[in-house]
A and B are shown apart, each in its own frame.
Chain A
Amino acid sequence: MGVIEFKSVDKIFGPRATGFRALEDINLEIRDREFVAIVGPSGCGKTTCLRMVAGFEDATAGVVSVDGTPIKRPGPDRAVVFQQFALFPWKSVYDNIDLGLRNLNVSRSERETRIAAILDLMNLTQYAKHFPHQLSGGMQQRVAIARAYVLDPDVLLMDEPFGALDAQTRVVMQEELVRLARKNPRTVLFITHAVEEAVYLADRVAIMTRAPGRIKEVLDIASIRNAENWDSYEKIEDVMDLESFVHLRTHIWRSLREEKAAQHV
């Protein structure tokens, strides 16, 4: 199971009265094995939402829980993929992926099997012995995704994972993530400011307002995706050409544009 729930969550950085109000009354339930993307203008607190599920930040008010248990601290049941990859530069690709499994006391033979499988899935097998810095950004992020996926977590938290990648690599990674997520579905909370990415990847997209961040609207993408059979297209550009995709994308764009405009008043 992996149900993420935000219940009337506020987040204030600094003192309650005078601090920065980052989030206000966030209510969102992410169902088991659902892929939810949060989009919003920069500084709206979308990353803070993810960090609270990860256990890196506390809620000032309200409750963030996974499967009904309020989150107290970080843990391998909620694997995080960071924008800056956050690999251990002193460990090889293999050892980076292995570390979480060792912490979970998985037996050596099982670790070997699982790592071999994930390396194969992410096309990393030949780079197992490389250090992270010997790899391109896209490769490094693949390692970070493998490190998270290999734990077989209930919940996968992805914080603008493709934000640091160039446009072409980004597209390849998005396609691979879709492949991975359909083959091996997990509850995913995905933070991005790229609208197309959110529409392409997610089952539902939550749009946030500028700070203090609130959830303005939640769009159901999955029903349209299934009705139009997006997954039958191999390439992202084919999906992006579809009228249904364009319609959703434009809707989200407008919604974000309103937020941007409000910011300048």
Chain B
Amino acid sequence: MKKYESVYITLGGMKVQRKVSIGLATIFIVCMIWFALTTGFGIVPSGRFPSPSETWSALIHVSGRGYGGGDLSMHVYNSLRLVVMGFLFAIATGVPLGLLMGWSRKAEAFINPIFLIIRPIPPLAWIPLAILWLGLGDSAKIMVIWFSAFVPSVINTYAGVRNIDRPVLEAAYMLGMPKVRFVAEVLIPGASPMIFTGLRLSLQASWTTLVAAELVGAFYGLGRVLNVAQQDLYPGMILVGMIAVAILGWGTTRVLGMVETWALRWNTAALAAKG
């Protein structure tokens, strides 16, 4: 295992420690410029964009007394919960369908036309219908997330199966694999680099759709915070909502990235070997 560690650490030709410190320095500089433009020289009026101190007080406000129907942790919890549920629901249906389509020409011929009709519809266009059907509660949001996250996971899984080297598949046939084992030990791992590409896209789509759906109508959630803050003309709170979404999006992507690194450790070795 020692060998892979060195591979990770020098990814992109740079030591991780160095990368982190450069990243922190960048964030620090952006904050300084932000401070200078708002509080420092007053070039940007606080009605247009909040100063760091206004943002900080908005954060204290929403974390303590609460805002838009709940405190920050409640909003975060609700948004995160819905994204995770919608995302898991989407990949639990999307990945198997992608495997089936990649594997069976019949299934592909049958399902592809449906996809060609549904794909051009932007996922956000489903929001009104979802709210009409399921109201402002969780289920409407999960449905909309499912619509947006489902498509990338299907398409990339499908492409992943089609990308498996033919000799590798033939080797599997030659070894006389039982069906379930073939799916679990050849089809899924063979397609997994592309499956993970699909999952990353699905996760991004989940966050985009959730925030949009909460903007349209919700009782809790970070989208709700953004919506109420907009109506209240409260720039500091808008920024808090945006930063919270950014941090959660980054965090969930990070978790997925860790799962990916672990699941594809064989592939990391492969990519390193190819140089």
Interface string of A42-68 (1 = CB under 8 A from B): 000000000000111000000000000
Distance to closest chain A CB from B176 (angstroms): 4
Most buried by A among B168, B170, B175, B274: B175
Chain A window 77-120, contacts with chain B (Cβ cutoff 8 Å), 1 for yes, 0 for no: 01110111111111100000001101110000000000000000
Question: Is A74 among interface residues, defined by CB-CB distance under 8 A?
Answer: yes
Checking A55, A80, A83, A134 against B3 with a beta-carbon cut-off of 8 angstroms, the contacting residue is: A134
B176 contact from A83, A103, A147, Cβ within 8 A: A103
The answer to whether B176 touches A84, judged by C-beta atoms less than 8 angstroms apart, is: no
Q: Could you say which residues of chain B place their CB within 8 Å of the CB of A75?
A: 174, 176
Contacting pair B189 A88 (CB below 8 A): yes
Report B60-84 CB contacts with A as 1/0, cut-off 8 Å: 0000000000000000000000000
For the complex, count residues of A whose C-beta is within 8 A of B. 30
Does A88 contact B168, Cβ atoms closer than 8 Å?
yes
Please count how many residues in chain B sit with their CB below 8 Å of the partner chain's CB atoms: 26
Give min CB distance, A238 to chain B, whole Å.
34
**Which A residues are in CB contact (< 8 Å) with B176?**
74-76, 100, 103-104
Contacts of B174 in A (CB 8 A): 54-55, 74-76, 78-80
Q: Which residue of B lies closest to A96 (CB)?
A: B171
Interface residue stretch chosen among B13-21, B96-104, B247-255, B265-273: B265-273
Label chain A's interface by main secondary structure.
loop
Surface stretch bound by A, among B118-126, B148-156, B177-185: B177-185
Q: Does A182 contact B (CB under 8 A)?
A: no
* Given known contacts A103-B175, A103-B178, A103-B181, A74 and B170 CB-to-CB distance under 8 angstroms: yes
A76 near B175: Cβ-Cβ < 8 Å? yes
A78: B residues at CB distance < 8 A: 174
Contact residues in A for B178 (Cβ distance below 8 Å) = 103
Chain B residues near A (Cβ < 8 Å) = 3, 165, 167-168, 170-178, 181, 185-186, 189-190, 192, 266-267, 269-270, 272-274
